Chain A
Amino acid sequence: MSGRDQDRNREFVRDVLARTSGSACDRACGLLPDLTDGVLASLDRQLVQQHLEHCPGCRAVALALGWLGPELASRAVLEPGPGFTAAVMARTSARTAAAHERRARELAATGPGGLMDRVGRWWQDRVLRPGFALQAAYAATVVLVLLTATPVSPLRGAPRVALAVFSAGPEALPVVNEASTWLADRTDEATSTLVADARARADRAGSSLADRGARSAPERARCAGAVGHALTNLRAGRFGDAGQDILDALHAGRTAWTLWWTTHPANNG
């Protein structure tokens, strides 16, 4: 045996000892996954298989590993059954609605509407408190004193005016007097204007009647004269002359009627 062969034998024995020292079952089981997957080196595979031939416990583990791989892989998908999708959709829809409502509340709380809501809720809370009336009266008294009763109050003359009004009536107030005078003046002006207009309309109406009478007076006189002549000729038996007088009377009457109803004498033909 050459020196090279001796080195190779020593190396082989060292590898075998390294793989077979310690607990044989632990070492074999540690290699079983690779044996099952078919990736175990040839020497290790031989050693493990020899161990399995004589070790029922490790052989049982090896057999379990053999069917365990496909069994586990077959469980990659577990269908949840009907109703699962609908349940998820219901939860997401509910969350969407809740999120929108929350967002709306946030927007309302930061906008003018939210400010009014907060003021309204604050006021409602205050009004519903039992001591609100007493507190409001106290606060109003303080405000009135500050506004009217101190030397620097902006409305310090108001109480005196109010007292005068109550004691002397509304006429005690200058503004009331001014308003009353202004109202009386306006009433007089309106009354005078109305009376003048009525008189002018009446005058114009009277003038119009006189004009119409003057315009139609000659024709009315001629009509009356023709009627008188016609009656005289009828009594005398002069019927031809009486007919001519009647025609003259009709003509004069028509002319007088036209002059009476015509507004402008120039239109009278």
Chain B
Amino acid sequence: MREYQGRVCSIAFGYVGEQDEALDLAQEIFVRVWNRLDQVTEPERFAGWLTAIARNACLDHLRRRKARPPRQDIPAEELTNLAAHGPTPEQAWLANDRQRLVHRAMQQLSDINREIIVLKDIQGLPLEQIAGMLDLPLGTVKSRSSRARVELARAIVALDGGPGGMGQEAVS
């Protein structure tokens, strides 16, 4: 489990964008995996199987999140207890300005573009596997992947204050 927990957390965080939800969701994903381990007949394909389960769990979670009412405020004393556990994963996962910038830009993408970014550019899955996972033609996935990257780059430029922003300085 330790071998894959970082990858699962990354997928969950990419889909939901909030650290608490991502951690809860990652736990739920591993519980699902644990409940369905008997379905694994080819160990060499475990990673792909795990990614598919994680994606389905994330989509289920997003559907439930859209259907349920907004969260209630957490009492102040509980916030104190949470703060006592050290740095939050979001603080660790978004350690610098560029990571926070990318994270904010990811939240502005459409669901499908964000999903393709998570699967293709973050997890590095082959386009053929993504096409099978999304049940789309390979050409469609490839063109959507290009558009998603451009959309994300444009969002970054817009959030960064246009040409000459932080991202440009860091690269140039």
Q: Which residues of A contact B (CB under 8 A)?
A: 29-30, 32-34, 56-57, 59-69, 71-73, 75-81, 84-85, 87-88, 91-92, 95
Q: Given A30-B150, A60-B157, A61-B157, do A75 and B27 touch, yes or no (CB 8 Å)?
A: no
Chain A interface SS verdict (over half): helix
Contact of B157 among A57, A76, A84 (CB under 8 A): A57
Which A residue's beta carbon lies closest to that of B23?
Answer: A80
- The contact size tier of chain B is 35 or more
Of the listed stretches B4-12, B60-68, B70-78, B131-139, chain A binds B4-12
Which B residue's beta carbon lies closest to that of A79?
Answer: B6
Binary A-proximity of B139-158 (CB < 8 A = 1, otherwise 0): 00000011101101110110
Inter-chain CB contacts under 8 Å: number? 122
Which A residue's beta carbon lies closest to that of B86?
Answer: A81
A93–B151 alpha-carbon span in the complex (Å):
43
User: Does B170 lie at the interface of the complex (its beta carbon under 8 Å from any beta carbon of A)?
Assistant: yes
Contact of B167 among A67, A69, A84 (CB under 8 A): A67
Residues of A contacting B122 in the complex (Cβ-Cβ under 8 angstroms): 72-73, 75-76
Which A residue's beta carbon lies closest to that of B157?
Answer: A60
A75–B122 alpha-carbon span in the complex (Å):
6
Q: Chain B CB within 10 Å — which of A29, A63, A85 has the most?
A: A63
Nearest CB of B to A93, in Å: 10
Show 7 A/B contacts (Cβ-Cβ < 8 Å), sorted by A: A29-B154, A60-B167, A67-B98, A71-B102, A76-B10, A78-B89, A92-B34
A79–B5 alpha-carbon span in the complex (Å):
7
* Cβ B149 vs Cβ A68 within 8 A: yes
Contact of A61 among B27, B102, B150 (CB under 8 A): B150
Nearest CB of A to B35, in Å: 8
Q: Given A72-B121, A84-B23, do A61 and B5 touch, yes or no (CB 8 Å)?
A: no
Residues of B contacting A71 in the complex (Cβ-Cβ under 8 angstroms): 98-99, 102
Q: Given A34-B146, A63-B171, A73-B121, do A80 and B9 touch, yes or no (CB 8 Å)?
A: yes
